[in-house]
Structure 1
Amino acid sequence: MTQPQRVLSYLEALNEALAQEMAADPSVVVFGEDNIGGTGCDGTLGHAWGPTRGLHNQFPDKVFDAPITEAAFVGAAVGAAATGLRPVADLLFVDFAGVCFDQILNQAAKLRYMVGGKAKVPMVLRAMWGTGMRRGAQHSQALYSMFTHIPGLKVVAPSNPVDAKGLMASAIQDDDPVIFFEHKLLYFGSRGVVPEERYTIPLGEAKVVREGGDVTIVAIGRMVNEALAAAEQLAADGVEAEVIDPRTLSPFDFDAVYTSVEKTSRLVVVDESNPRCSIATDIAGNVAENRFSALSSAVRTVTSPHAPVPFSPALEDAFPPNAGKIVDAVRSTLAASLSKAS
């Protein structure tokens, strides 16, 4: 009799990845804000949303809380990584990176280069990001573009549970510092079939999540779901969109995008971050520079406005890209290519 496939949430997949990596490697440790739940707690809380829930009970010597001083515990993670451990530090909201940016920019990202490879910094910095939870301007930003600009860092933004588990395992096993972006709305809002065994997904490999021949849509993190919804709407009108999930933002799999654009001749990039100096403009610029002759119309980007995230629920809901905005961008690029052809 066939066993039913096991379905996990995004959060549960991350929890399983952390548990399996700690069980397999004695050098892996997990710490940060509220990983246990505070002094005297038993680990049942496991972070504000629960990705480390129960891990302290399984690994009491490897999972612990850190003081609410990001500069200190991120610096401790850098030092621990440089001296033999593989720490996974939990920043909670990526917005808190401002108070520990020196440790990320000038220590974690630079150390291996400054000593000619004689030391390595195998650490993971977990960070929640994104709109949709009514957390206001200081707890809702999408700052991954800023980190992709820094040489020496790897940046990951999974869109679903199976990728979250495999990419977390790869990030922990990697010898370079990895910033691991976890969208808050995906914790419970994304579910999928996840293998029970330990596995990895290589960093730097994009995935075509929907094939099509009329337009390429590259979407980041939670925006993959919006892109797939847009693709279904477009299909009803006879437009077949190819949707690419980069999964890793640095290093970036430009070859996957180039291959798709050579087939479709049109590109729309969907990115929840702000439009200026963003991953969306970087992808658009690279395609324009390296595959200009393949394009039948200008690349379109769909991003959030160049403004802080609003607290008003109505304004916050209107702030990020959505399926409707993506459909409009695709129709615009289709119209432009038809006009150019005529």
Structure 2
Amino acid sequence: MSETASMKKLNMIEAINDALDVMMARDSNIVVMGEDVGYFGGVFRATAGLQKKYGRTRVFDTPISECGIIGVAVGMGAYGLRPVPEIQFADYIYPGLDQLVSEAARLRYRSAGEFTAPITVRSPFGGGIFGGQTHSQSPEALFTHVSGIKTVIPATPHDAKGLLIAAIEDNDPVIFFEPKRIYNGPFNGYYDKPVEPWSRHKDGAVPEGYYRIPLGKARVVREGEAMTVLAYGTMVHVAEAVLAEKGVDAEIIDLRTLVPLDIETIKASIEKTGKCMIVHEATRTGGFGAELSALVQERCFYHLEAPIERVTGFDTPYPHSLEWAYFPGPVRIGEAVDRLLKA
């Protein structure tokens, strides 16, 4: 990214649309596909205007068949295209799981490098719209378990654009989960109201044109000495708001990519602070926080001054009317912070 690149204020939806536009203009092999992504522009409008600009052969609607969408994308990738399929909600991705796990993730290895699957599967995930059990799940841990798939989750419009460009350019399959709770702006973790529109928020500035953020590099949101907080997606903003209100000098790390994981940035931070809290929206058991906790324990045991804290969603089916109680918020994060400070 050029240091002289002009900036514009975008929300995350606009930044994703901008990334797709930039890449489709640069590479005619990039195609966008999925349910309602063409004429309608996607249920969240992330692909709005792209079919009109690039035509129906490069931006096209598919049947309601996630297995078919991803299976076709794998074939396109092997053929030489760079498909960017959209799964309308992450909850709908399960019918396509076999194609992702058994085909996309393994194609490079089973063909001894003769074929690759350069596909980027975009999907909104997590809660925030009262979508209930079929529109609000956070299944990221399932994909981090699969060798051969990269898992990316942005927390800002700036990162959404740069990471999506890097994902599209990658020669291996990438799951690109977009936290829909912050599609239009960051939230403070207390209510379903934004702190302020992305257009005025410090993270809403997005460079024009092409730039990429390398996969596998975390972002230090703010430096601190009291503890290290590991988060991604919406929870970056929730944790930041809670810690700011409590006046805690915590170092907050936005992981950005779960696989590949920037363990060196995590390790350096915990060696400095001696304490670690992990915050994510997904259920606790088998969540990615468990893997983070194990890695921190293995790499930083002699620097830890307190048990690792995990603040997560509950091990229950996703509650429709109680989703704001389900989210890690100021009460549960605050209690974990107090335990670490007293340790």
Q: Is the 8 A contact 2:270 2:276 kept in 1?
A: yes
1:325 is displaced (CA, Å) by 2.0
Determine the structure 1 residue equivalent to 2:158: 162
1:125 aligned counterpart, secondary structure: strand
Q: How does 1:181-330 map to 2 (within 5 A)?
A: 181-190=177-186, 191=198, 192-235=204-247, 239-312=248-321, 315-330=322-337
2:138 aligned counterpart, secondary structure: coil
**Rg (Cα) greater in structure:** 1
Structure 2 residues not aligned, in runs of 5+: 187-197, 199-203
CA distance in 2, matches of 1:203, 1:62: 26
Determine the structure 2 residue equivalent to 1:104: 100
Matched residue type, 2:327: P
CA distance in 2, matches of 1:185, 1:93: 13
Structure 1 residues not aligned, in runs of 5+: 37-42, 337-342
Determine the structure 2 residue equivalent to 1:54: 49
CA distance in 2, matches of 1:49, 1:197: 22
What per-residue deviation string (whole Å, max 9, x for no partner) do you get for residues 153-191 of structure 1?
000000010000000000000000000001111211242
**TM, length-normalised to structure 2:** 0.92
1:134 is displaced (CA, Å) by 1.2
Matched residue type, 1:131: G
Distance 1:132 1:170, change over 3 A: same
**TM, length-normalised to structure 1:** 0.92
2:283 aligned counterpart, secondary structure: coil
1:65 is displaced (CA, Å) by 0.4
Determine the structure 1 residue equivalent to 2:28: 26
Determine the structure 1 residue equivalent to 2:115: 119
1:273 aligned counterpart, secondary structure: strand
1:4 is displaced (CA, Å) by 9.2
Determine the structure 2 residue equivalent to 1:175: 171
Moved more, 78-87 or 110-119: 110-119
1:230 is displaced (CA, Å) by 1.7
CA distance in 2, matches of 1:316, 1:325: 14
Matched residue type, 2:68: A
1:92 aligned counterpart, secondary structure: coil
Matched residue type, 2:78: A
1:135 is displaced (CA, Å) by 0.9
Determine the structure 2 residue equivalent to 1:340: none
Moved more, 55-64 or 260-269: 55-64
CA distance in 2, matches of 1:121, 1:69: 19
User: How many residue pairs are counted as aligned between the two chains?
Assistant: 323
CA distance in 1, matches of 2:30, 2:207: 21
1:324 is displaced (CA, Å) by 3.2
1:272 is displaced (CA, Å) by 0.5
What per-residue deviation string (whole Å, max 9, x for no partner) do you get for residues 179-207 of structure 1?
00011112112420000121000000001
CA distance in 2, matches of 1:248, 1:320: 21
1:194 aligned counterpart, secondary structure: strand
CA distance in 2, matches of 1:234, 1:140: 29
Q: How does 1:33-112 map to 2 (within 5 A)?
A: 33-36=35-38, 43=39, 45-60=40-55, 61-112=57-108
Q: Is the 8 A contact 2:277 2:336 kept in 1?
A: yes
Moved more, 315-324 or 252-261: 315-324
